[in-house]
Amino acid sequence: MTGWRIANHRGLFHGFFGLLIRIIINRIIKHLRGKKQRDFGPGAKFIAAFPFTAIIPPMEERHLTRIDRILAGIDHALRTVNSAPARIVRANPAADIEETELTEQEKSHAAGLMRVNHAGEVAAQGLYQGHAAMARDPSIEAQMTHAAEEELDHLAWCEQRLDELGSGPSALRPLWYGGAFAMGMASGVVGDKWSLGFIEETERQVAAHLTGHLDRLPLDDLRSRAIVARMRDEEEQHGANANAAGAAPLPQPVQKLMQSVARVMTSLAYRV
């Protein structure tokens, strides 16, 4: 009965989030229809003509307006936070590693850490999509989108490992995505160099966090350790790419705030 109640509450939470997003989309569509004299681009016109049939423009359209990109980010949110497993492009780093026997306590602890990592990857999707939606330089937008695609593999690897450990992802993933998407958009508003600076600092903190998880994971949990080690290496590379693209160093108070938010997220995601 308790399990049914938890599952029911999660379903209601995700359903409410999906409904809220659709209400926002509907309002944007109405706004677009009311602006007949203003050109919002082919993607927006397509959406206005066929509501809810698509979030992004047809494949042949390559030039997206900012509103198109925001709508695409909302669609990405719905696909990221639902219960369907993420798609995998690259092989799981743990694919060739045999499962080892863990105690129930070790399994529970490893699952908690991998759930935190999964929540971080959900937030990473929101962060990169928020930045891409507001990017002024097309090359920066492309870099953000590419990084988000690599992070999707991280998301899928974490989901697989959670399933193997007999657990599941955080029930609060709509919150993780929505908050990160908002922060990504907010930093993007002030300019690409600050957006890149936010990415660089985020990846630096995430890499340090993953290093800490390697110290805390059971020594015999070789599959989880392989996944986390690969994720850490790629997060460091994403941070280096942001720096090379012209990231501006963030002020210390902003860095401290980011650390505080991360502590709250990891504490909650480990349990819920």
pLDDT in tens, 183-202: 888 888 888 888 889 899 99
pLDDT, mean of residues 38-50: 42
| CATH code for position 244 | 1.20.1260.10
Q: What confidence tens digit (pLDDT) does each residue in 7-23 have?
A: 444 554 455 555 555 55
Q: Which domain holds residue 177?
A: 85-271
The answer on 130 and 97 residing in a single domain is yes
Flag whether 76 is in a domain. no
Q: Is the pLDDT of residue 59 over 80?
A: no
pLDDT of res. 7: 45
Contacts for 151 with CB less than 8 Å, ≥ 6 apart: 121, 124, 125, 128
Among 19, 37, 68, give the residue marking a domain's end.
68
Q: Structurally, how many domains does the chain consist of?
A: 2
Flag whether 187 is in a domain. yes
Q: Is the pLDDT of residue 53 over 90?
A: no
Q: pLDDT grade, residue 87 (50/70/90)? A: low
Q: What is the dihedral of CA 264, 266, 271, 272, to 10 degrees?
A: 80
Flag whether 75 is in a domain. no
The answer on 231 and 165 residing in a single domain is yes
Q: What confidence tens digit (pLDDT) does each residue in 89-126 have?
A: 789 999 999 999 999 999 999 999 999 999 999 998 88
Cβ–Cβ under 8 Å, residues 264 and 119:
no
Flag whether 78 is in a domain. no
The answer on 240 and 107 residing in a single domain is yes
